[in-house]
Amino acid sequence: MYDSIILRTVSRLMLPILLLLSLFMLVRGHNLPGGGFIGGLVAASAFILQIIAYGPKYIREVFPISFLRLAAFGVIFAALWGLIGLATGQAYMLAFWIKEPIPGIGKLGTPVLFDIGVYLTVIGVTTQLALVLAEEPILYPIPRPPARPDAVAPEV
């Protein structure tokens, strides 16, 4: 979309770093600033950076998943863990925790899983929105095939 060699190089380097950062934000959220929403936004901005640098087609090829489905999955995933409370005859969304903390992740419980659902939803919604806009044919028409192919420099 925006043809800049610097942007492309940097964004390519930034992608894994931003995704790792988003996971980090998600995991540390329970005790330190962060959480599913912030982590999701960081991950989405990583994807959107790729969209700006390379265009929507690229991200479709590199991440061949439907972000719409990802968002839907996130909502269902988040809602799912609350059912444990119902199944055991208590309130919906009652928190359940594993007693021993898991090394590297910390304590695991249904609120953390719920947060993962939020995380996935935010990624899906934000990225899909950017894709919908970037792939909008009225805004970004398909480059028409040149009248004389030799008039345009061949693509790299």
What is the C-alpha to C-alpha distance for residues 43 and 127, in angstroms, rounded to an integer? 9
Considering beta carbons, is residue 16 or 98 the nearer one to other proteins?
98
What is the C-alpha to C-alpha distance for residues 26 and 28, in angstroms, rounded to an integer? 6
Spell out where 1-156 has E strands. none
Which residues 6+ apart lie within 8 Å of 26 measured at CB?
34, 35, 36, 39, 40, 115, 116, 119
What is the C-alpha to C-alpha distance for residues 116 and 27, in angstroms, rounded to an integer? 9
Hey, what's the torsion of the CAs at 11, 16, 20, 23, to 10 degrees? 80
Considering beta carbons, is residue 14 or 129 the nearer one to other proteins?
129
Considering beta carbons, is residue 89 or 145 the nearer one to other proteins?
145
- Compute the least distance from the CB of residue 65 to other proteins, in Å: 15
- Compute the least distance from the CB of residue 150 to other proteins, in Å: 18
Considering beta carbons, is residue 31 or 89 the nearer one to other proteins?
31
* Residue ranges binding other proteins (CB under 8 A): 1-3, 8, 25, 29-38, 41-42, 44-45, 48, 52, 54-58, 68, 71-72, 74-75, 78-79, 82, 92-93, 95, 97, 107, 109, 111-112, 114-115, 117-118, 121-122, 124-126, 128-130, 132-145, 155-156
Query: Which of 121, 94, 105 shows the shortest CA–CA distance to 30?
Result: 105
- Compute the least distance from the CB of residue 5 to other proteins, in Å: 9
- Compute the least distance from the CB of residue 28 to other proteins, in Å: 8
Considering beta carbons, is residue 23 or 75 the nearer one to other proteins?
75
- Compute the least distance from the CB of residue 81 to other proteins, in Å: 9
* H/E stretch holding 39: helix 36-54
What is the C-alpha to C-alpha distance for residues 61 and 64, in angstroms, rounded to an integer? 5
